[in-house]
């Protein structure tokens, strides 16, 4: 397996099962997954250590570890509805998504894989959109489609729906907050079927059977921006979900485009604010195309894989080292580098203690190598 | 007369008459006026040389020179309607206006002088404004008025009128395109009277009796931006007069504020474009106040006065030097510095030839020391 060349990344069947087991286990999110793989060298090795780590981290009851059976069943059930589980770097995994800090280790992809490799622009906005907002979303989505971009959105009512609907054929990707068999809102199942039939697609990081909860939508929004070169916010009130997508886009280094509106229109309050904060004002597709053209050619590098040569220091912390590290942690995020320096414990041992705490459900990982106690 | 200290600048009666005669003479604009004063040391000396310069510049018939009588009459008639003629640096001449390249050497000021010394913000926009545009103009004008700013505008229908009307008491300045006795549009004479009565004012660089022509409005717009710290463009279609004001503001180093609107609203096309080009998006008065606060404290320096010690090289060009300079000139603007270097004629003689051409109506002065043949 040559993990250095994106065109040829391919998990073995056994690896895919191990990866799925690891990411579907309790207290393992995308950031933890990546750290575990980097630390232990493979998902297999990490799975072997999970129970012990969680116990030492002080879990009152051991977290659930996804079984071999459950993983095989998810893969088979997914296949039956035309969904495959892809790792970063595999064909059909949106190349830019692989670059984000918390990229899903396995992404459930439905529909034509080709659309996932098109350059993508996210278009999001109010569910309760104005007629002008809907019309604008349709126009810019169509124009971007004609220019060769696929349109990513969230399948919601309003702006999302308008953007998907007019780009069924040029290419559009629905980014789901729940499993592929739990479409939200339910009345958009028909729209999704149209998308799949006409050559577009849908992605989710959630398991089949997962009904989206309120907190899954902000989490999902990072995927809309993550797969895209930039995100167009069409209408957004203050404190709306679209602004979360804009914030993720910013953090991920994606372009943020905002459609202006009258200061007297509350649906433009969020987008006008974004422009004040530096977002690019957009009134037509050319504004988007001109801004992203310079970055389209840049090669996309693969950030994650199973290292051929993992660190050999397995990091077995002493009890007093563990105490020292825990005492340095608190509810405010701290950098792992600072933690290593301040604790004077080896990097490998600090990482091990963090895994223990995490798998016991006591630690949260943030972007930029920051952690905090829960 | 201490011309270095702005608080004490004061023309003598004789100087004021000379200045008025010079600026009211044919082919003398604000830039020529300044060059003449700097070159000959006083308006008086320049007036003495005008006929000779114009003749040598090749004027087919000599340009009209404003007589002593006419100047005295204008001053007296102005006084009768409460208008005084002020030079840059005199109390009541808007301090920031004195800084622009083509500041009027004498400004006809009506109403309370105090308002001219307040920090000012220009508010301009469509004559054919939307209800939302008018409402926004009123709100931001009032809020800026409460914050201590006077509002400058053009007394036009629509946005201008709305901005003046709500700031009668906090302070507002009408910048006229014609003489003070030729109000345009005529139906706004009442508004102007209200302004004067309630402590606001009006300015014009044009003589009494001058009915504004189409080309006087763009010229006037440079005064709206020139007296202001920044200009708010509320609604503006593509190629509208408000965009000319924005361009002047940019050239003069004033802040440009633009109010966003829907891409589907043609009245927002110009303002959205301005934001794309770098104007500050404004949705409330605080956006303006925050942007101009840092520059409000800066002292304003006086750019023009009669030098105590004018250049002594009077610059008498030889005939062949005159030919060489004219041959270097053409319809494309060229820098005076370049002209001096390329002609190898003394700076004083080049300036003299330029005066000759100008007073003969054959030369135009642009910003940044550029000149071109007409």
> φ and ψ at B365, to 5 degrees?
-100, 130
The mean pLDDT of B40-66, rounded to a whole number, is: 88
Could you tell me if B337 lies within 8 Å of chain A, comparing CB atoms?
A: no
- Of the candidate ranges A31-40, A97-106, B20-29, B364-373, the one whose mean pLDDT is the lowest: B364-373
Nearest chain A Cα distance for residue B136, angstroms: 7
Q: Do B284 and A261 touch (CB under 8 A)?
A: no
Could you tell me if B274 lies within 8 Å of chain A, comparing CB atoms?
A: no
What's the pLDDT score for residue A362?
A: 86
Could you tell me if B281 lies within 8 Å of chain A, comparing CB atoms?
A: yes
CB environment B58-81: b (16+ within 10 A), e (fewer): ebeeebebbeeebbeebbebbeee
Q: How confident is the model at residue B56 (pLDDT cuts 50, 70, 90)?
A: confident
Could you tell me if A278 lies within 8 Å of chain B, comparing CB atoms?
A: no
Which residues in chain A have their CB less than 8 angstroms from residue B282's CB?
A: 263
Could you tell me if B332 lies within 8 Å of chain A, comparing CB atoms?
A: no
Could you tell me if B272 lies within 8 Å of chain A, comparing CB atoms?
A: yes
**Joined tokens for residue B82:** 């409460």
Q: How confident is the model at residue A7 (pLDDT cuts 50, 70, 90)?
A: very low
The mean pLDDT of A322-336, rounded to a whole number, is: 86
Q: How far is CA B92 from the centre of its chain?
A: 15
Identify the closest residue of chain B to A267 by CA–CA distance. Answer: B262
ipTM: 0.78
> Do residues A177 and A167 lie in contact, with contact meaning Cβ atoms separated by under 8 Å?
no
Could you tell me if B289 lies within 8 Å of chain A, comparing CB atoms?
A: no
**Joined tokens for residue A68:** 């071999």
Q: Do B136 and A260 touch (CB under 8 A)?
A: no
Q: How far is CA A250 from the centre of its chain?
A: 14
> φ and ψ at A161, to 5 degrees?
-60, -45
What's the pLDDT score for residue A6?
A: 47
CB contacts under 8 A, A 352-371 vs B, are: none
What's the pLDDT score for residue B8?
A: 54
Rounded CA-CA distance A179/A212 in Å is 8
Q: Do A260 and B264 touch (CB under 8 A)?
A: no
pLDDT in tens, B274-331: 999 999 999 999 999 999 998 887 666 555 566 655 555 667 888 888 888 888 888 8
Q: How many helices (H) and strands (E) does chain B have?
A: 14, 12
What's the pLDDT score for residue B126?
A: 92
Which residues in chain B have their CB less than 8 angstroms from residue A272's CB?
A: 260, 281, 283
What's the pLDDT score for residue B266?
A: 93
The mean pLDDT of B345-359, rounded to a whole number, is: 87
Nearest chain A Cα distance for residue B280, angstroms: 7
Q: β-pairing, B83-86 with B370-373?
A: unpaired
What's the pLDDT score for residue A1?
A: 25
Q: Do A283 and B275 touch (CB under 8 A)?
A: no
Whether A312 has a pLDDT exceeding 80, the answer reads no
Nearest chain A Cα distance for residue B118, angstroms: 27
> φ and ψ at A204, to 5 degrees?
-155, 150
The mean pLDDT of A52-81, rounded to a whole number, is: 90
What's the pLDDT score for residue B176?
A: 98
> Do residues A167 and A140 lie in contact, with contact meaning Cβ atoms separated by under 8 Å?
no
| Selected residue with higher pLDDT from A322 and B109 | B109
Nearest chain A Cα distance for residue B279, angstroms: 10
Whether B84 has a pLDDT exceeding 50, the answer reads yes
Could you tell me if A283 lies within 8 Å of chain B, comparing CB atoms?
A: yes
The mean pLDDT of A348-373, rounded to a whole number, is: 87
Task: Measure CB to CB from residue A132 to each of B262, B280, B281 and give the nearest one.
Answer: B262
pLDDT in tens, B158-209: 999 999 999 999 999 999 999 999 999 999 999 999 999 999 999 999 999 9
Q: How far is CA A348 from CA A295, A321, A364, in A?
A: 36, 12, 18
Could you tell me if B268 lies within 8 Å of chain A, comparing CB atoms?
A: yes
Which residues in chain B have their CB less than 8 angstroms from residue A259's CB?
A: 262-263
Identify the closest residue of chain A to B274 by CA–CA distance. Answer: A281
Whether B102 has a pLDDT exceeding 80, the answer reads yes
Task: Measure CB to CB from residue A260 to each of B132, B260, B280 and give the nearest one.
Answer: B260
Instruction: Give the neighbor-by-neighbor strand order of the sheet with A120-124.
Output: A83-86, A107-111, A201-204, A172-175, A150-153, A120-124, A230-233, A255-258, A280-281
> Do residues A235 and A246 lie in contact, with contact meaning Cβ atoms separated by under 8 Å?
no
> Do residues A352 and A340 lie in contact, with contact meaning Cβ atoms separated by under 8 Å?
no
CB contacts under 8 A, B 111-150 vs A, are: 132, 135-136
Listed in sequence order, the DSSP H helices in chain A are 13-23, 30-40, 43-56, 68-80, 114-117, 131-146, 159-165, 189-197, 216-226, 241-251, 269-276, 285-296, 319-328, 336-343, 347-359
Q: Do A132 and B275 touch (CB under 8 A)?
A: no
pLDDT in tens, A131-180: 999 999 999 999 999 999 999 999 999 999 999 999 999 999 999 999 99
Whether A355 has a pLDDT exceeding 90, the answer reads no
The mean pLDDT of B87-91, rounded to a whole number, is: 93
Mean pLDDT of chain B: 90
Is residue A167 packed enough to be buried (19+ CB in 10 Å), middle (13-18) or exposed (0-12)?
buried
Nearest chain A Cα distance for residue B176, angstroms: 29
Q: What is the DSSP string of B80-106?
A: HTTEEEE-TTSTTS-TTGGGSTT--SS
**Joined tokens for residue A104:** 């899903």
Which residues in chain B have their CB less than 8 angstroms from residue A283's CB?
A: 263, 269, 272, 276
Q: Do A272 and B263 touch (CB under 8 A)?
A: no
Nearest chain B Cα distance for residue A191, angstroms: 27
pTM for the predicted model, two decimal places? 0.83
Task: Measure CB to CB from residue A262 to each of B261, B276, B284 and give the nearest one.
Answer: B261
Nearest chain B Cα distance for residue A162, angstroms: 16
Whether B374 has a pLDDT exceeding 70, the answer reads yes
Quickly tell me which residue has 């799975």 as its tokens.
A47
Residue % of chain B over a pLDDT of 70:
93
pLDDT in tens, A218-237: 999 999 999 999 999 999 99
Q: Do A262 and B136 touch (CB under 8 A)?
A: yes
Task: Measure CB to CB from residue A284 to each of B261, B263, B287 and give the nearest one.
Answer: B263
CB environment B108-146: b (16+ within 10 A), e (fewer): bbbbbeebbebbbbbbbbbbebbebbbebbbbbbbbbbe
Listed in sequence order, the DSSP H helices in chain B are 13-23, 30-40, 43-56, 68-80, 131-146, 159-165, 189-197, 216-226, 241-251, 269-276, 285-296, 319-328, 336-343, 347-359
> Do residues A88 and A302 lie in contact, with contact meaning Cβ atoms separated by under 8 Å?
yes
Task: Measure CB to CB from residue A276 to each of B262, B265, B281 and give the nearest one.
Answer: B281
Q: Do A262 and B268 touch (CB under 8 A)?
A: yes
| Selected residue with higher pLDDT from B2 and A308 | A308
Q: Do A276 and B272 touch (CB under 8 A)?
A: no
What's the pLDDT score for residue A318?
A: 83
């Amino acid at each position: 397996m040559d993990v250095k060349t994106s065109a040829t990344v391919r998990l073995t069947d056994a690896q895919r099962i191990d990866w799925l087991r690891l990411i579907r286990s309790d207290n393992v999110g995308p950031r933890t997954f990546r750290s575990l793989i980097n630390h232990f060298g493979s998902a297999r090795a990490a799975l072997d250590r999970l129970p012990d780590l969680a116990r030492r981290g002080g879990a009152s009851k051991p977290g659930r570890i996804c079984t071999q059976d459950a993983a095989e069943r998810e893969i088979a059930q997914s296949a039956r509805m035309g969904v495959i589980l892809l790792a970063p770097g595999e064909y059909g995994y949106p190349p830019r998504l692989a670059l984000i800090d918390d990229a899903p280790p396995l992404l459930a992809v439905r529909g034509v894989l080709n659309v996932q490799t098109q350059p993508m622009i996210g278009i999001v906005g109010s569910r309760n959109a104005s007629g002008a907002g809907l019309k604008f979303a349709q126009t810019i989505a169509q124009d971007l489609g004609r220019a060769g971009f696929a349109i990513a959105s969230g399948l919601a009512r309003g702006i999302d729906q308008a953007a998907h609907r007019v780009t069924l054929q040029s290419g559009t990707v629905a980014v789901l907050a729940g499993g592929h068999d739990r479409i939200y809102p339910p009345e958009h199942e028909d729209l999704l079927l149209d998308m799949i039939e006409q050559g577009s697609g849908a992605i989710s990081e959630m398991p089949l059977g997962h009904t989206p909860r309120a907190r899954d939508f902000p989490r999902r929004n990072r995927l809309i921006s993550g797969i895209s070169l930039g995100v167009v916010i069409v209408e957004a009130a203050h404190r709306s979900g679209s602004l979360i997508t804009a914030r993720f886009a910013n953090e991920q280094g994606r372009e943020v485009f905002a459609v202006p509106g009258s200061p007297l229109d509350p649906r433009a309050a969020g987008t006008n604010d974004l422009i004040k904060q530096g977002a690019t004002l957009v009134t037509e597709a050319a504004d988007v195309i001109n801004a992203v053209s310079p970055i389209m050619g840049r090669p996309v590098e693969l950030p994650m894989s199973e290292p051929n040569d993992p660190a050999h220091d397995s990091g077995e912390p002493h009890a007093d080292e563990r105490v020292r590290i825990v005492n340095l942690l608190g509810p405010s995020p701290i950098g792992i580098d600072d933690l290593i320096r301040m604790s004077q414990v080896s990097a490998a041992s600090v990482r091990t203690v963090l895994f223990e705490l995490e798998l016991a459900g006591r630690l949260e990982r943030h972007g930029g190598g920051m952690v905090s106690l829960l």
